[in-house]
Amino acid sequence: MQSLGLDRGEAPGQSRALTGWGGTAPTVATLLETTGEEAAVAAVRGADGRGVLARGLARSYGDAAQNSGGLVLDATGMDRILSVDVPSATVVVEAGVSLDTMMRRLLPLGLWVPVTPGTRQVTVGGAIAADIHGKNHHVAGTFTQHVASMDLLMADGSVRTITPETDHDLFWATAGGMGLTGIILRATIRMKRVESAYCLVDTERAENLDDLMDKLSSTDHLYTYSVAWIDCLARGATMGRSVLTRGWSAKRADLPRKLQRDPLTFNPRSLFTAPPVFPSGLLNRATVMAFNEVWFRKAPRERRGEVQGIHPFFHPLDGVHEWNRIYGPRGFLQWQFVVPFGAEETMRACIEALAAAGQASFLAVLKRFGPGNDGPLSFPSPGWTLALDIPVAADRQELSKLLDRLDDLVVEAGGRLYLAKDSRVTPERLRAMYPRIDEWRAVREAVDPNHVFTSDLARRLAL
């Protein structure tokens, strides 16, 4: 029986318009709630010519979790933690379990997820399919680098256990492969041991982009976690002014005495839910400039060793449920790119172009990546990465022209865009950004020659 996994109680088999977190380009698919392996296998074996795709908590920003006219499996019902081995810091989980659930269940045992993005509302399957990264990429790499094995539902309905050692090419094609090599059912993950649910955090301002890059380049090796909020509307001498936050996991002895009594307590809550209707244009140049000024000025010039909870340090936006609604009914684009070390002038040119165009983004972050991994479509590579949200205007033409021009700068510098955030890059630019894409395609053709697993993103990019 088919049922809609988003709005419970709706009629079985009803089609549903789906979007990414950015709320743009909705397409209609049949959404099938999947609570176990048997149902997922039956769905794959019965898929028609429009194919099938797994969908988690829908936090990819563009069209990666959409399959127009086809079948979409809501995998969030497969959300069990199957086993926990505390001595080895290893867990086995179903792919639909969220990082939020893992944190709430496992942090009291002293186990922390090895890599987390800016939200806890991501499934393990989605974390692998997008090969997510966090503030600690320069020391810990991507999420999939901490996956010991995974069970993958193949196009013929069989289930295959793969590891980086036994199935190197398929494992790494699945990491960052956006769900197009198979449906991840389960994963064995190596966790990180911690003594508390807190971090020790250093905060300081950077007066401009040069100051920021100097601070990051000279001190990143001292910190486990590092990120900078950047004002992408500032111009002139203050272009790229930032608030830099860096830290590491706090040990129990680092905490104030009252927190030492129960150092692993973790029970974050949303402060409020954004209302379903926000007027378009609320986030514009004027309002974001005002926000940026306040945000920069309220940050301390320099503060060392502050004890912060995991929730505010890693996931501040999770405090506002459905925060994407604030962009209004037209939604927003997220644009994230990386350019190699040595291409700092490209980063500068992109930020200057965004500031000159008045593109308002109050969620703009810059950080450094460490070494990449073996995934042909894995996004992180050594260099500088910038991510920002851009509200969609009534007239999209100028924004499209600007981002196309910036895409070309990124390509010329040897950089790339992040597919989990993308909703608009062209197939030609994608090939230039990911020079190993033919390796990935060869693996996909070998395991799924009929493209049973597909998506709107796959069709748009001719994957």
Residues 292 and 152 occupy one common structural domain? no
pLDDT tens digits, residue range 269-303?
888 888 877 777 677 778 878 877 888 888 999 99
Question: Does residue 242 form part of some domain?
Answer: yes
Look up residue 430 and give its two tokens: 């994608």
Residues 262 and 114 occupy one common structural domain? no
Residues 255 and 305 occupy one common structural domain? yes
- Name the helix (H) or strand (E) containing 90: strand 90-94
Question: Does residue 44 form part of some domain?
Answer: no
- Name the helix (H) or strand (E) containing 225: strand 225-230
β-sheet bridge partners, residue 183? 153
Residues 234 and 188 occupy one common structural domain? no
Question: Does residue 100 form part of some domain?
Answer: yes
pLDDT at 9: 34
The residue count for the chain: 463
Give the span between the Cα atoms of 247 and 303, in whole angstroms: 11
Give the span between the Cα atoms of 269 and 45, in whole angstroms: 40
- Name the region of 352 (left: φ>0; alpha: ψ -120 to 50; beta: rest): alpha
CATH number at residue 394: 3.30.70.2520
Question: Per the structure, how many domains does the chain have?
Answer: 2
Angle at 266 between CA 261 and CA 272, to 5 degrees: 130
Q: What beta strand segments (E) does 341-446 contain?
A: 365-369, 383-391, 416-417
Give the span between the Cα atoms of 68 and 90, in whole angstroms: 37
pLDDT at 198: 98
- For the chain, report the end-to-end CA distance as a whole number of angstroms: 31
Give the span between the Cα atoms of 291 and 364, in whole angstroms: 12
Residues 209 and 278 occupy one common structural domain? yes
- Name the helix (H) or strand (E) containing 187: strand 183-190
Tell me the residue range of the domain where 280 lies: 198-423
Q: What beta strand segments (E) does 90-163 contain?
A: 90-94, 111-112, 147-153, 159-162
Closest CA to 175 of 205, 150, 206, 210: 150
Residues 351 and 202 occupy one common structural domain? yes
Residues 182 and 250 occupy one common structural domain? no
pTM: 0.94
User: pLDDT tens string for the chain (463 positions)?
Assistant: 233 333 333 334 579 999 999 999 899 999 999 889 999 999 999 999 999 999 999 999 999 999 999 999 999 999 999 999 999 999 999 999 999 999 999 999 999 999 999 999 999 999 999 999 999 999 999 999 999 999 999 999 999 999 999 999 999 999 999 999 999 999 999 999 999 999 999 999 999 999 999 999 999 999 999 999 999 888 899 999 999 999 999 999 999 999 999 999 999 988 888 887 777 767 777 887 887 788 888 899 999 999 999 999 999 999 989 988 888 888 899 999 999 999 999 999 999 999 888 776 778 999 999 999 999 999 999 999 999 998 887 667 888 999 999 999 999 999 999 999 999 999 999 999 999 999 999 999 999 999 999 999 999 999 9
Residues 105 and 228 occupy one common structural domain? no
β-sheet bridge partners, residue 31? 72
Residues 224 and 352 occupy one common structural domain? yes
pLDDT tens digits, residue range 365-379?
999 999 999 999 999
388's CB contacts (< 8 A; 6+ apart) are 232, 334, 335, 336, 354, 359, 361, 363, 364, 365
CATH number at residue 165: 3.30.465.10
Residues 136 and 271 occupy one common structural domain? no
Give the distance, in angstroms, between the CA of residue 359 and the centroid of all CA atoms in the same chain.
22
DSSP codes joined into one string, 32-51: EE--SHHHHHHHHHT--TT-
pLDDT at 394: 62
Residues 270 and 407 occupy one common structural domain? yes
User: Which residue bears the tokens 């041991």?
Assistant: 193
Question: Does residue 356 form part of some domain?
Answer: yes
Q: Which residues of 421-458 are buried (b: 16+ CB within 10 A; e: fewer)?
A: bbbbbeeebbebbbeebebbbebbeebbeeebbbbbbb
Residues 146 and 208 occupy one common structural domain? no
Give the span between the Cα atoms of 106 and 110, in whole angstroms: 7
